[in-house]
Structures are given as structure tokens and as C-alpha cells.
Amino acid sequence: MVYIKNPYIRYIRRKPWAVIAPVSVIVVLYFFLFSSSSSLSSSSGSKNSAQSSPKYNYNTKSRRWFAKNRDSIILKNLPSDHISHYDLNKLTTSPDALAKKEEVLILTPMSRFLPQYWANLQKLSYDHSLISLGFILPRNNDGDVALKQLEEAIKDASTNNQLKYKKITILRQDSNSLDSQLEKDRHALKVQKERRSMMALARNSLVFTTISPTTSWILWLDADIVETPETLIQDLVAHNKPVISANVYQRYYNEEEKKNAIRAYDFNNWVESEEGLKIAASLPEDEIVVEGYAEMATYRPLMALFYDANGDQHTEMALDGVGGGAVMVKADVHRDGAMFPSFPFYHLIETEGFAKMAKRLGYEVFGLPNYLVYHYNE
Amino acid sequence: MVYIKNPYIRYIRRKPWAVIAPVSVIVVLYFFLFSSSSSLSSSSGSKNSAQSSPKYNYNTKSRRWFAKNRDSIILKNLPSDHISHYDLNKLTTSPDALAKKEEVLILTPMSRFLPQYWANLQKLSYDHSLISLGFILPRNNDGDVALKQLEEAIKDASTNNQLKYKKITILRQDSNSLDSQLEKDRHALKVQKERRSMMALARNSLVFTTISPTTSWILWLDADIVETPETLIQDLVAHNKPVISANVYQRYYNEEEKKNAIRAYDFNNWVESEEGLKIAASLPEDEIVVEGYAEMATYRPLMALFYDANGDQHTEMALDGVGGGAVMVKADVHRDGAMFPSFPFYHLIETEGFAKMAKRLGYEVFGLPNYLVYHYNE
């Protein structure tokens, strides 16, 4: 192939970002239907046994796809049975999501499998047949181990007939994933950028691959979140916000006071500050502002510090940055294009960049300072 | 609900971008399977007639979903028949896409239905059973008319058994779509920003809703493109680039020379220039640079002007901005997060902003100056 070599053309090239490789090589999909969808069961999948069946039967297929959209309207019946029309005009996002049977997609990037995460997930009281799950695991040893454990957990729940989710999707990330890191190393300022850039790519792959036309809400739930109220989904959607983040705390044993206690964990839920904006303005284009490091004191009001044990758990506060611990997002925010920047976007990346992007798309971002979920304590 | 009113918090709010409303209210899906997938036909969809079938049969479901991935590997057979594992490790993007049976998703925002567009689409020689189609239509009078015509065309092709696509998805955009505009008005500098911002949202909704785990390539093909080589898909994938754009020309009758002729049409395929960067740097944050207007002379090298009738049609040139006429994108570029900014992104929006975003994600962007496709001449 010939490249035009015209002196008039400046070939503006950037060195490909070496750490970033295309994503999503292994896709493992599990489909779980429900006894209530028994209308959708089909004859054997073997080629021979289906000889007597009609070659085309789209009605069945379509009904299966939209199994939960019982109030779909069939616009017209075309002469052939090849085609079905479905009007999903009723796809809503509303505070009473459960009553309206709105579908929720729970997305979790997972580099380790915590049984407590899984147990907590199973206990969520939102109708599981309206929930789809999506996981993405890094392509490294951690990911291999976590995948095996996740599969085992799914298998166990399935065997006990406790698995009622609409669909479970598991992706493997095709990147040179960072190797396992100790807690302290994982948080070192210098590795934050690379780590969170990889995480952003993982999140984008996950949401692009799993969002369906029937998804109303997306709950980003980190694999390290081991305790939430059972009504997590209902509680978050009740606020009916485009983006709303719970406050991530951690249980620990207070050695001095000799008792169990809680402490703030996730400092990525914040309100922008004059200092933060000044620091951002002073940085080279490709540098990022990260929260919670003394080297970079933003003096941003951090939601983690606004927790009031006696306060109303429905208290809302407007945010400019969010973490990924437990964030409910209206699917239309993603459909409009809100993604997780893996590159500095207004000097922000990943979930914090996502909040900025949602705001650039015209959406407001909120947090619930008194609504706690708990991060694993390793 | 209570808002925290703490003087420490600056409530940074932006007026929601009034023109931007959530998208994708009506989703109309057509599913087309193939006689080769007759193994996938299923028993009647009616609830009663399925009583004797097993309540769960995921093998069938999964096989249908991955009907074309015949070389999927079943990782393990779990004890129950609830679960099937599929290893899609072989999802590739390669120059010989057809030989490898790579799936292509053709996406078209459509505000008017041109029979010539449809006829050209039907003539594409890539295996239609590997092609899915996705359309998004504005929620206005134009959209209503176009939807009716598109449905009619699909119905006709279906009746004649000429419709072999894997899947067709039609979305209606839930926005206050701009009303119909005359060609000259549509291109007026002052309406460009709003029009293209809406278009960006439409494109994002479309790709987020239609990309599947099995999609290898995405061809953005505008509804005004009425003539392409029949080998369009094969020709573009042969270059094996993350993003590659054809050169959009237009046929017209040259009154002076009294003969049919062609002329450059799409000036959004360009290479960045010093002037362009200077203009961008001089603009307020929320202003955009648009190409092809005397008011804003960027002196960017425009691919449209590099067409050489005697040149090799495989000639490539690196680009910094692309138009949406006929652009082939590796699905992983979108999965990594590349979307169409509806807000100024480096002072660029829509397809031009998309090219910048792909580059920020580490991908290179190319064009084919001597490979022509033709825009409708109204």
C-alpha cells in the first residue's frame, strides 16, 4: 500500500499508547431464563431434531429477547412470520423502578472474587429476573483465579436453583493487565494513572458489550464492595438521578478503642474546588489530578467526610467526581455517550472523568453521604 | 429529600443542555435467521404449547445467539443443562474478514429514506448473514416518513426472501430533533454545532445499543450515501486499520461543460494544520472548529482534494478528522470507549471529535483519498 507523501501534509501521529490493547477476547455468556418464561423454552438445539420445525420463527426469538417486556406493543403483524415489531416506547427510568419492572444491569470489573461480594449480591431484594449481571476480568493470574471462583459460585447457585438473573455475561479483557498489587502499591500515586486507565478500558468494554435496548438502569458495583443494604437498587433509583453514588466506607477494628468501627474509604466522590481547578490548570495536558494524595492537595470537599451517622440517609449532595464503588446510572447517560476516559479528560480519568463527561452531556451527578456501602478490609 | 447546604460546598451546576434529551425510546427489532441455522428453530412461542418442553434449555438459546460462531469452543459441560460456556477467543478483526467470517455491523442514522441508499446496501457483496444493520431515526416528521419507507423496504425484501441479514435494529431517537432543513440551511455555520451535536447523540445511542459481543467491525454508512463499490466492506477491512474513511464525492451535471461529472462533497476528512490548531487555541472552551467555512480558514489538508483519478485506490493517508459518510471502525475502538462527542472535545464534535477520541485512545485514523463513494445529489 502506498502512503501519500505530500510535503503539504503534516503526518500527525501519536505513539500508540502501548499499555492499551484491544479488549474483550474471551466472551463467556450464560443465559438464564425463568420458569415464568417457560413459554420461551424451545425444542432441542440439535440440527437433526429440528427438521420438522419451521425454518423461520422470529416471534419466538423476539419474545425471548424481550421476555420481560410484557407490555410491549406489537405494532403490526406483517404477512410473513419472519418479522416482529416491538414498541419499547415504555422503556422508562423512574423512582418506582421495581413496580414498573425496569431492568437493571449490574456491572462489576473483577480482579478478585470475594465470597462476601457474591453473597451480598445474591441478597439484593430487587426482582432478580429484572437484573442482568456483567463481569470483566483481567487477563492475568488474578483474573484466572477469580474467573474460576466466579464460575464455581454461579454453578453452585445454579445447582441450588437460586439463580434467577435474566442474563450473566463474563468478559475477559485482552490487555496486558497489570499484575496483582498490594493495597499500598495499588494506591501509590505513580501507578494510579496506569491502573485507572486500564480500569477505564475495562469498564468501557463491559458497558458497551452488555447494555441492551431494554436496560433502564446500570449499577456499577465494585468487586470489593462486600456489604450494602439489601434494598440497594431500590434505594438508589428512588432518587431518580442520572448518576448517583453511595458513600463507600470500610469496617475495621479500632485497636486503640478496642472496638469495631467504620472509616471513610473512597475519596473519589467529591465536589470541585478552586484549588482543584488551579492544580488542573497548572498541569501539562496529559497529567491527571487524583484525590487523596498529600502531594496534590485539592481541598476538594469529599463526600466521604460528609457522613453523618445521625443524618437522613436520603440526603443528597451534588458531586463533580465519583468513584466506582456503588454508582447507579441511567442507561441513557451511557447511551448518550458517557464513557470512562482512559486518557486525561479535563485532567480526570476513569470514574472521575466519567462524572465530568456526564456533566458535559448535560446530566447532573449526585452522591448520598449518609448512605453507606462497605469496602472489603484486607 | 434534603440537600446539604454547606457553605464549604460550591454547587457547581451547569444548565442542562436543553437540546439534549435521553435517547432511544422506540426500539424496533427484527430478527432474521437463516436456513443454515435451522437447528435453531424452536417450538411455538405460546405459553401453553411449551408445557412439555423443559423449563430450561440454554444450549439452544446460546447457540442461536452465536449462530455464526461455529468454531466456538465449549469450555466445559456443566452438570446441569442450564449453562453453556462459549469461548469467543476467536473474535478477530483481520484483512480477510470474510474468510474468517467476521461479523460486520452497519450503522446508519437516517432522517430520510433514499431508495438508492437501500438498493446500494442490498448489493454489498459481503456475506449478508454476517451483517447486522442498525438504524436510528429522529423523532420528527422526517423520521416518521423515513421509518415508514424503511419498514416498507424491509418488508418488500423480506417478502421476496432477499433479506439475509443476521439482525436489523431500528431505534427512534427521543430528542427534540431538529426539523427538516434545506441543504443550504443545514450547512450554515451557526446551525452546524446544534445539528452535529444531535447527530453525535444519535450515533452514540445507535452504537451502544447494537454492538454485540460477536461484532468485529462497524461500518458507519450515512443514509445519503447512494453509491459505493459492491465490495465496500471487503475493500475497507483489507486495510486492517482501526478507523478508515472512504472519500465522499457527488455526481452532478456540469452545466458549463454539458456533461456528467463528480465533485468533492465531504470535507470532514482532514489532516490537522498549524492554522487549525491556532484557531482552536484561540476559541473559548465551548466553541468548535468546523471545516469548509470561509469564516474559519484552517488550511487543513482535506482528503477530498487529494483524489487522483489515476491514482491507486488503495492509497492511504493518515487523518486527524473524519466524516461519517462511509467509515469502517474496528469494534474494539468503540469498546475501548471511542464515542462521538456531542460537546466540544478539543474543539471538535461528532465524527471529527470521534477521530480525536480514537487517537487519544491510542488508535490511528486513516483515509482512502482515491476510494470514492457518492453522496446523493438533491
- The answer on pLDDT for A239 being more than 90 is yes
Q: Which of A37-51, A265-279, B310-324 is predicted with the least confidence, judged by mean pLDDT?
A: A37-51
Domain count for chain B? 1
Please give the radius of gyration of chain A, using alpha carbons only, rounded to the nearest integer.
23
pLDDT of residue B229: 98
A70 and A169 housed in the same domain: no
A200 and A236 housed in the same domain: yes
What percent of chain B is helix, strand and coil (3-state, nearest 5)? 30, 20, 50
**Mean pLDDT, residues A139-155:** 92
A82 and A140 housed in the same domain: no
Chain B contact present for A58, CB below 8 A: yes
Please give the radius of gyration of chain B, using alpha carbons only, rounded to the nearest integer.
23
pLDDT of residue B35: 29
A66 and A182 housed in the same domain: no
> When comparing pLDDT for A3 and A148, which is higher?
A148
**Mean pLDDT, residues A184-213:** 83
A229 and A138 housed in the same domain: yes
* Cβ distance of A335 and B24 shorter than 8 Å: yes
Contact list in B for residue A214 (CB cut-off 8 A) is: 27
**Mean pLDDT, residues A78-95:** 49
Going B342 to B346 to B347 to B348, the CA torsion angle's sign is negative
Q: Which of A33-42, A352-361, B266-275 is predicted with the least confidence, judged by mean pLDDT?
A: A33-42
pLDDT of residue B64: 27
pLDDT of residue A259: 97
pLDDT of residue A42: 30
Q: Report yes or no on B304 lying in a domain.
A: yes
A85 and A149 housed in the same domain: no
A110 and A65 housed in the same domain: no
pLDDT of residue B212: 86
pLDDT of residue A87: 40
pLDDT of residue A183: 56
Q: What percent of chain A has pLDDT over 90?
A: 53
Chain B contact present for A64, CB below 8 A: yes
pLDDT of residue A16: 36
pLDDT of residue B187: 61
Residue A172's closest CA among A206, A121, A211? A206
- The answer on pLDDT for A249 being more than 90 is yes
Q: Report yes or no on B281 lying in a domain.
A: yes
Domain that holds residue B175: 27-33+88-375
Q: What is the nearest CA distance from A346 to chain B, expressed in angstroms? A: 10
Q: Mapping DSSP to helix (H, G, I), strand (E, B) and coil, where does residue B296 land?
A: helix
What pLDDT digit, counting tens, does each position of B4-27 carry?
Answer: 333 333 333 333 333 333 333 333
Q: Which three cell numbers stand for residue B135?
A: 438504524
**Mean pLDDT, residues A141-155:** 93
ipTM: 0.76
pLDDT of residue A298: 87
- The answer on pLDDT for A182 being more than 50 is yes
* Cβ distance of A25 and B88 shorter than 8 Å: yes
Q: Which amino acid is at A214?
A: T
Q: Which amino acid is at B4?
A: I
In terms of Cβ atoms closer than 10 Å to its own Cβ (0-12, 13-18, 19+), residue B75 is middle
Q: Which of B182-191, B214-223, B272-281, B287-296 is predicted with the least confidence, judged by mean pLDDT?
A: B182-191
> When comparing pLDDT for B174 and B246, which is higher?
B246
Q: Are B360 and B210 in contact (CB under 8 A)?
A: no
Q: Helices marked H in chain B — which ranges?
A: 58-65, 115-123, 141-159, 183-186, 189-210, 232-237, 274-282, 331-335, 350-360
> When comparing pLDDT for B98 and A180, which is higher?
B98
- Going by pLDDT thresholds of 50, 70 and 90, the confidence category of residue B328 is very high
B202 phi/psi in degrees, rounded to 5: -60, -45
Return the HEC string of chain A. CCECCCCCCCCCCCCCCCCCCCCCCCEEEEECCCHHHHHHCCCCCCCHHHCCCCCCCHHHHHHHHCCCCCCCECCCCCCCCCCCCCECCCCCCCCCCCCCCCEEEEEEECCCCCHHHHHHHHHCCCCHHHEEEEEEECCCHHHHHHHHHHHHHHHHHHHCCCCCCCEEEEEECCCCCCCCCCHHHHCCHHHHHHHHHHHHHHHHHHHHHHCCCCEEEEEEECCCEEECCCCHHHHHHCCCCCEEEEEEEEEEEECCCCEEEEEECCCCCECCCHHHHHHHHHCCCCCCCCCCCHHHCCCCCEHHHHCCCCCCCCCEEECCECCCCEEEEEHHHHHCCCCCCCCCECCECHHHHHHHHHHHCCCCEEEEEEEEEEECCC
CATH number at B216 reads 3.90.550.10
A83 and A183 housed in the same domain: no
- Which among B70-84, B93-107, B326-340 has the top mean pLDDT? B326-340
How much is the mean pLDDT over chain B? 77
pLDDT of residue A13: 33
Q: Report yes or no on B157 lying in a domain.
A: yes
Q: How many residues belong to chain B?
A: 378
Q: Report yes or no on A22 lying in a domain.
A: no
Give the whole-angstrom CA distance, residue B79 versus residue B70: 23
List A residues 193-252 in contact with B (Cβ-Cβ < 8 A).
200-201, 204-205, 207-209, 211-214, 239
pLDDT of residue B286: 83
Q: Report yes or no on A12 lying in a domain.
A: no
* Cβ distance of A86 and B359 shorter than 8 Å: no
B243-254 and B326-330: which strand pairing? antiparallel
Q: Report yes or no on B59 lying in a domain.
A: no
Interface test with A, best of B2, B19, B27 (most A CBs within 10 A): B27
**Mean pLDDT, residues A129-136:** 94
Give the whole-angstrom CA distance, residue B102 versus residue A105: 28
Q: Report yes or no on A41 lying in a domain.
A: no
> When comparing pLDDT for B328 and A74, which is higher?
B328
Chain B contact present for A67, CB below 8 A: no
| Phi/psi-derived region of residue A350, left when phi > 0, alpha when psi is between -120 and 50, beta in every other case | left
Contact list in A for residue B169 (CB cut-off 8 A) is: 213
A76 and A107 housed in the same domain: no
A351 and A251 housed in the same domain: yes
A212 and A286 housed in the same domain: yes
Q: Which residue of B has its CA nearest to A17?
A: B362
A142 and A201 housed in the same domain: yes
> When comparing pLDDT for A68 and A142, which is higher?
A142
Q: Mapping DSSP to helix (H, G, I), strand (E, B) and coil, where does residue B156 land?
A: helix
Give the whole-angstrom CA distance, residue A227 versus residue A325: 11
Q: Which three cell numbers stand for residue B186?
A: 443545514
Chain B contact present for A57, CB below 8 A: yes
How much is the mean pLDDT over chain A? 77
Q: Are A352 and A267 in contact (CB under 8 A)?
A: no
Contact list in A for residue B39 (CB cut-off 8 A) is: 45-47, 50
Going A59 to A60 to A65 to A70, the CA torsion angle's sign is positive
- The answer on pLDDT for B296 being more than 60 is yes
Q: Which residue of A has its CA nearest to B175?
A: A336
pLDDT of residue A180: 52
Count other C-beta atoms under 10 Å from residue B106's C-beta.
24
- The answer on pLDDT for A109 being more than 60 is yes
Q: Report yes or no on B9 lying in a domain.
A: no
pLDDT of residue A3: 39
> When comparing pLDDT for B86 and B286, which is higher?
B286
